[in-house]
Structure 1
Amino acid sequence: MDDAENEIRGHLFRLDSRGVTLMDSKYHVTNGPAISPHGDTLYHNDSARQTVFAFDLDADGELSNRREHIRLAPGAGYPDGMTCDREGGLWIALWDGGRVARFHADGSLDREIALPVSRPTSCIFGGDALDRMFVTSAATGCHDEPLAGALFEVAVDIGGIAITPVILPNDPAL
């Protein structure tokens, strides 16, 4: 990404046993990604454009059908790190939005969790039952926020999915 966020220099790459492959480009500030519980959709965002994109993801790790999935309104925050829950909901940390938001698989807003910081950066599920959400935050530019930069733990009623290694059917390592 261009640190000044003026030029469109961001790219989405795939790294696997086949090497590094350029999958998509023309982003201001790349963030995410997250994969749906069934492994058939990849979400990736351009924070500067306040847009989350969805792609169809096939068994070989190829992307197709790029589409705008969520566009946040001005002042709603910028999509940063994200993760999916076991029901297919997409949780997004909203930089300058002071919250984490859950969106249904169709892109509609389901719920929000307010945080005592303005710049949450990412979220992930943890705990024995994957029913705890851990949210990171940034301290950059938040001198008047005593908890900026802290890690938050939040109980959620829809848990996450366990991360498992993905082995593609055509992987030469097999």
Structure 2
Amino acid sequence: MNGVGSMRAERVAAAGDAPAEVGECPVWRAAEGALYWVDIVANRLNRLHLDSGRRTAWRLPERIACFAFDRDGALLAGMESGLFAVDLRAAPHGGEVAARRIAAPAFPLADMRFNDGRCDRQGRFWAGTMVQDTAAAQAVGSLFRYDAKGGLSLPVVDGLIVQNGLSWSPDGRTMYLSDSHASRRLVWVYDYDVDAGWPRNRRLFADLHAHVGRPDGAAVDADGGYWICANDAGRVLRFAPDGRLDRQIELPAAKPAMCAFGGRDLDTLFITTIRPAANATEHDGHLFAARPGVCGLPEPEFAGALDGLGR
């Protein structure tokens, strides 16, 4: 880490005192001035309005790991048994909310779920699957694409243990993908066909065996820098487009899980964290933020209307 610029993230007090067990998938929704994120184990979706500090929480019928908004504000969510449409307008003040399954893969094993996911720059939703018991180290996870016209694809990338790190370059022509499992700890990069929505020419981008931690969730900034959460190491690492590690953010929580740019000027990096089962500190499981000196990009919305899909 010598020569790498470093700064420290601060806990977001407005997010509340209750830690998440598995905080994941922060998404900034500019139309509301609000940050959304999930607690996978609690089946919970959270929202924080930054200006007012107002918080809302919804409970879903299954574990929710990733999601994207459509243009009407509905969610396309990757959950345990498939992809679901969720209309939060049915419960505007939080509480229990229904979810309608719109697509599901043929899971090769029992006890699997979707994990990391988001839309590409063209609004296609991508998400990967994994076995929930990561200690089993089963390489049966796959990456799928979903769009309103073609529905759910066949596996586009397979052989994954814990799919993560999904993101795209500012021009959309480069796709990043990681495998977080301790036996992998790799980030790959692909050439991405923006017209066909297809990744090709996979090669190694970053091997975290040469750095620290396990590569978890990620975000790309406006300059093309790839920010990856180094789970177990309490850091978020920024790799330049050529693969050089050039800066890092340190956290007092050991297990940063995913990051996303937000705020009015997209100049704040929000970071969710996981609370370990043993030896947790007061900081583990909370939401953190840093201003790394570079801005992010708007999170793409799903290019389609979820109303009516799956009926």
Q: Which TM-score applies when normalising by structure 2?
A: 0.52
What residue identity is the alignment partner of 1:127? Answer: G
Structure 2 residue aligned with 1:93: 229
Residue 220 of structure 2 is aligned with which of 68, 84, 87?
A: 84
Cα pair 1:142 1:148 within 8 Å, conserved: no
Structure 2 residue aligned with 1:19: 151
Cα pair 1:5 1:28 within 8 Å, conserved: no
| Aligned equivalents of 1:154, 1:96: Cα separation in 2 | 19
| Aligned equivalents of 2:217, 2:259: Cα separation in 1 | 6
Change (3 A) 1:107 1:74: closer
Q: Which moved more, 1:3-12 or 1:78-87?
A: 3-12
Structure 2 residue aligned with 1:9: 140
What residue identity is the alignment partner of 1:139? Answer: R
| Aligned equivalents of 2:302, 2:173: Cα separation in 1 | 13
Are residue 56 (structure 1) and residue 191 (structure 2) matched? yes
Identity of aligned residues (%): 38
Are residue 40 (structure 1) and residue 173 (structure 2) matched? yes
What residue identity is the alignment partner of 1:57? Answer: Y
Q: Which moved more, 1:65-74 or 1:151-160?
A: 65-74
Partner SS state of residue 86, structure 1: coil
Change (3 A) 1:67 1:5: farther
Please report how far the alpha carbon of residue 142 of structure 1 lies from its aligned counterpart in structure 2 after TM superposition. 4.8
Please report how far the alpha carbon of residue 9 of structure 1 lies from its aligned counterpart in structure 2 after TM superposition. 1.1
Residue 67 of structure 1 is aligned with which of 187, 190, 203?
A: 203
Partner SS state of residue 79, structure 1: strand
Cα displacement string for residues 33-74 of structure 1 (whole angstroms, at most 9, x for unaligned residues): 111111001101011111001111112211110111110126
Please report how far the alpha carbon of residue 83 of structure 1 lies from its aligned counterpart in structure 2 after TM superposition. 0.6
Structure 1 runs of 4+ off > 4 angstroms? none
Instruction: Look at both structures and tell me which one has the larger radius of gyration over its CA atoms.
Output: 2
Q: Which one has more relative contact order, counting CA pairs under 8 Å at least 6 apart?
A: 2
Aligned length: 168
Partner SS state of residue 73, structure 1: helix
| Aligned equivalents of 2:219, 2:159: Cα separation in 1 | 22
Please report how far the alpha carbon of residue 143 of structure 1 lies from its aligned counterpart in structure 2 after TM superposition. 3.3
Structure 1: gaps (5+ residues): 168-174
Residue 264 of structure 2 is aligned with which of 128, 138, 141?
A: 128
| Aligned equivalents of 1:155, 1:165: Cα separation in 2 | 24
| Aligned equivalents of 2:286, 2:252: Cα separation in 1 | 10
Are residue 116 (structure 1) and residue 248 (structure 2) matched? no
Change (3 A) 1:5 1:93: farther
Change (3 A) 1:6 1:166: closer
Structure 2: gaps (5+ residues): 1-129, 304-311
Q: Output the aligned Cα RMSD.
A: 1.7
Please report how far the alpha carbon of residue 7 of structure 1 lies from its aligned counterpart in structure 2 after TM superposition. 1.7
Q: Which TM-score applies when normalising by structure 1?
A: 0.90
| Aligned equivalents of 1:38, 1:75: Cα separation in 2 | 27
Cα pair 1:5 1:29 within 8 Å, conserved: no
Please report how far the alpha carbon of residue 162 of structure 1 lies from its aligned counterpart in structure 2 after TM superposition. 1.3
Please report how far the alpha carbon of residue 152 of structure 1 lies from its aligned counterpart in structure 2 after TM superposition. 0.4
| Aligned equivalents of 1:93, 1:131: Cα separation in 2 | 17
Change (3 A) 1:75 1:41: closer
